[in-house]
Structure 1
Amino acid sequence: MVDRRTVLAGALMLPVAARAERWDAIVDPRTGTLGKALEQAAQAGGRPFRILVRAGILVEKLTVTVPNVTIAGDGYGAILSYGTYAGMQHADGGIWGTGRTATLTIAAPGVTLRNLTIRNSFDFIGAKRDGAGNGAQAVALMIRAEADRTRVADCQIEGYQDTLYIQSRSWLSGCRILGGVDFIFGGGAAWIEGCEIVTRFVPGADTSGYIAAPSTPAAQPFGLVFHVCRLNREPGVPKRSTWLGRPWRAGGNMALTGQAVFVQCVMDAHIKREGWTWMGYKGPDGEQRRLTPQEARLFEIGSRGPGAGPTSPTRRMLSAGEVANFTRTNVLDDWDGLAG
């Protein structure tokens, strides 16, 4: 017998075959909101709570604050979009900083995202053209330090500057991540596998930016690890215009020596031969300094394609013995459900 329970998600009321589909809430962007479904999840007391999002655009800025929530879309056509950027004025009179700009923020453990598009819709190109904004940082997805064990599968994550901010253990697979400036960044330990990393075209830009900007604590053995990924570019992005990344010493914190590693990745011709570059920071004495690739932990091994480059002081290769340590189990510290 079909279970005819009715599931409420905002204004949406749909009959759900709960046993067959196992959704606790279904959101139709035409009539409901993901925010309402997350309010339901908050009432579930931390038990696993599954939300299905139908195709369409949800213009919402949200934070997941309860654990063990799964948000799954019908596909990339299930779009969560918002346009906040760093430097804009908040309704309370304050100024938005990078960490508050995210379209979707994960702030609880055990959250899973699948088959979604998560987009920061800020007009980066228009702001650059008009001299507006401050750069401008505009995060699509932020995974905060308290979010431990975030799983992101088969999602499209769209932005330009600071697209994906990772501050805790995260496992991403089969995703498409788009950006230009430091667009995969943060101090979390992340295993990023089988993803397409796309550098975006910005008219008139001197360079096409930096892929990774790790701020990994020196005491933390692993940072941003890209495994069997594809580094591609939008039409118009020139050859040899994009850095693999640069180490971010956030706030001048001397305990941060960013780690990022590309393992067996295919790189298009937009990647610079030098690979990595420095990033500036203000030291404890207030003087402006540079954190160089040689001081940080930036490596690769087994790169293929026209963007693969020779070993150099700024483009260092792991040995076979060193790369053996870079497994999903090691990077993610063998969290429960790792094989799922």
Structure 2
Amino acid sequence: MRYLIFSTLALFFHSVSAAPDFQAVVDSSGGEASYRTIGAALAAAPAASEKPYVIYIRNGHYREKLTVNRSNIALIGESQKSTLITYGAFAGQKMPGSDETWGTFHSATLTVLAPDFSAGNLTIENSFDFLANDALDRDHPRKIGGTQAVALALDGGSDRVAFRNVRISGFQDTLYANTGRSYFVDSIIEGNVDFIFDAGTALFENSDIVNRRRAGGRMPSGYITAPSTNIDSPYGFVFLRCQLRREDGVPAQSVPLGRPWHPTTDFDDGRYADPDAIGASVFIDTYMDDHISREGWTSMRGTARDGTKSMVFTPESARFFEYLSRGPGAAVNAARRQLSTEEAMHYARDKVLRGWIPPFADP
């Protein structure tokens, strides 16, 4: 049954321009659409559905902050470049009508909390102007803190979520993948500081991972991944046949592939860096432009038991590996650990996703 559902969604995705079968239409300009906002269409979706509830979104700029808390929702846009979902919340910003701030994990433009979600042919963007703030001196009166601004958050009951031909855009903390399994194919994920992060299992296939510039030529100019994968999970972030690219203005040798994040966590004996967050990031058969640092990876500080940021977690303490990297940013040295051919075979799609077959995944 699940295979038939996936096949139906795959057929829908590839034939979307030819009067696709959908359950709701969103059109910001009105017309004959059922809904003028995506939020209204989501609110009208069934609480539970045995097959994908497809919401077709016509081209437009949808300034909405959305949460998906119902299973089997599919958001399919008319085109990736012209179907734009955007919001500008950031961690240090006060929530409307409150003295409390969003915080990193609630700043997302789109938050998925339910299983079997899928999306295609659209852009999800956090529009917070990170660069304008980044350009200000540290003591400037308009300088703000808490610049983490998530575009897409996968949390709560999120699992078996799939994206094809999507653009996920932000700067710091663009993609928060905390729980479950997620799959990204033929897509673009762009940001600068730790822009793919947290504890979930995410597979990226044939996608562009784009580093965006910092203001003032800061070094390092960013970090691609900051995984906090639990030690009991064999897979964190896996990149298969991807392309690591950069915007103009991102210097050569300025971006590590990742750093190990040990989130500050409450335990019975105190609050400190989670020792079981043994981050995992693996790049296989991936093109790397010259912005990737020769060392490949870097360290990250964590909270000690005394509350200071005095703990240092090195790349060697994490599960950071490569196999068949190529391009001007590729290198083989003692700092960039390589998988053997036999080890790389354990990172095939079916193994990483533990048997889940994503909708619209190629054979």
* TM-score between the two structures when normalised by the length of structure 1: 0.91
Moved more, 52-61 or 315-324: 315-324
Over residues 110-158 of structure 1, what are the superposed CA-to-partner deviations in whole Å (9 max), with x where a residue is unaligned?
A: 0001011000000001111235332510000011141110001110010
Partner of 1:201: 213
SS in structure 2 of the partner of residue 147 of structure 1: coil
Letter in 1 for 2:324: G
Over residues 221-276 of structure 1, what are the superposed CA-to-partner deviations in whole Å (9 max), with x where a residue is unaligned?
A: 00000110000111111111111110111111111010000000000001000000
Cα distance change of structure 1 residues 20 and 123 upon mapping to structure 2, 3 Å threshold: closer
Partner of 1:113: 119
Deviation at 1:102, TM superposition (A): 0.3
The partner residue of 1:154 within 137, 145, 165 is 165
Matches within 5 A, 1:230-249: 230-249=243-262
Partner of 2:84: 79
User: Residue 261 in 1 paired to residue 282 in 2?
Assistant: yes
The partner residue of 1:127 within 111, 128, 133 is 133
SS in structure 2 of the partner of residue 162 of structure 1: coil
- Partner Cα distance (1:233, 1:170) in 2: 24
SS in structure 2 of the partner of residue 127 of structure 1: helix
Partner of 2:150: 139
Q: Aligned pairs, how many?
A: 322
Residues 300 and 314 in structure 2, CA contact (< 8 A), matched pair in contact too:
yes
Deviation at 1:48, TM superposition (A): 2.4
Residues 153 and 172 in structure 1, CA contact (< 8 A), matched pair in contact too:
yes
Which consecutive residues of structure 1, in runs of 5 or more, have no partner in the other structure? 1-18
Letter in 2 for 1:85: F
- Partner Cα distance (2:244, 2:315) in 1: 20
Residues 47 and 71 in structure 2, CA contact (< 8 A), matched pair in contact too:
no
Moved more, 278-287 or 292-301: 278-287
The partner residue of 1:51 within 44, 51, 55 is 55
Cα distance change of structure 1 residues 129 and 177 upon mapping to structure 2, 3 Å threshold: same
- Partner Cα distance (2:316, 2:290) in 1: 24
Residues 350 and 357 in structure 2, CA contact (< 8 A), matched pair in contact too:
no
Cα distance change of structure 1 residues 339 and 50 upon mapping to structure 2, 3 Å threshold: closer
* Larger RCO of the pair (alpha carbons < 8 Å, separation 6+): 2
- Partner Cα distance (1:58, 1:44) in 2: 25
Letter in 1 for 2:175: L
Cα distance change of structure 1 residues 43 and 325 upon mapping to structure 2, 3 Å threshold: closer
- Partner Cα distance (2:360, 2:209) in 1: 24
Residues 134 and 215 in structure 2, CA contact (< 8 A), matched pair in contact too:
no
Residues 261 and 299 in structure 1, CA contact (< 8 A), matched pair in contact too:
yes
User: Residue 22 in 1 paired to residue 43 in 2?
Assistant: no
Deviation at 1:310, TM superposition (A): 2.0
SS in structure 2 of the partner of residue 204 of structure 1: helix
Partner of 1:301: 323
Matches within 5 A, 1:283-294: 283-287=304-308, 288-294=310-316
Residues 304 and 311 in structure 2, CA contact (< 8 A), matched pair in contact too:
yes
SS in structure 2 of the partner of residue 95 of structure 1: coil
* TM-score between the two structures when normalised by the length of structure 2: 0.85
Residues 88 and 133 in structure 1, CA contact (< 8 A), matched pair in contact too:
no
Partner of 1:10: none
User: Residue 61 in 1 paired to residue 65 in 2?
Assistant: yes
Over residues 43-82 of structure 1, what are the superposed CA-to-partner deviations in whole Å (9 max), with x where a residue is unaligned?
A: 5656521001111100000000100000010112100000
Residues 222 and 256 in structure 2, CA contact (< 8 A), matched pair in contact too:
yes
- Partner Cα distance (1:145, 1:225) in 2: 21
SS in structure 2 of the partner of residue 142 of structure 1: strand
Which consecutive residues of structure 2, in runs of 5 or more, have no partner in the other structure? 1-17, 31-35, 265-272
User: Residue 250 in 1 paired to residue 255 in 2?
Assistant: no
Cα distance change of structure 1 residues 26 and 269 upon mapping to structure 2, 3 Å threshold: same
- Partner Cα distance (1:294, 1:337) in 2: 32
Residues 128 and 135 in structure 1, CA contact (< 8 A), matched pair in contact too:
no
Cα distance change of structure 1 residues 264 and 120 upon mapping to structure 2, 3 Å threshold: same
Moved over 4 A (4+): 43-47, 336-340
- Partner Cα distance (1:42, 1:126) in 2: 41
Partner of 1:215: 228
- Partner Cα distance (1:210, 1:118) in 2: 20
- Partner Cα distance (2:131, 2:327) in 1: 29
- Partner Cα distance (1:143, 1:274) in 2: 30
SS in structure 2 of the partner of residue 245 of structure 1: coil
Cα distance change of structure 1 residues 203 and 339 upon mapping to structure 2, 3 Å threshold: closer
SS in structure 1 of the partner of residue 84 of structure 2: strand
Over residues 161-204 of structure 1, what are the superposed CA-to-partner deviations in whole Å (9 max), with x where a residue is unaligned?
A: 00011122101101111100000111111111100011112230
The partner residue of 2:188 within 176, 198, 223 is 176
- Partner Cα distance (1:337, 1:242) in 2: 31
- Partner Cα distance (1:36, 1:245) in 2: 38
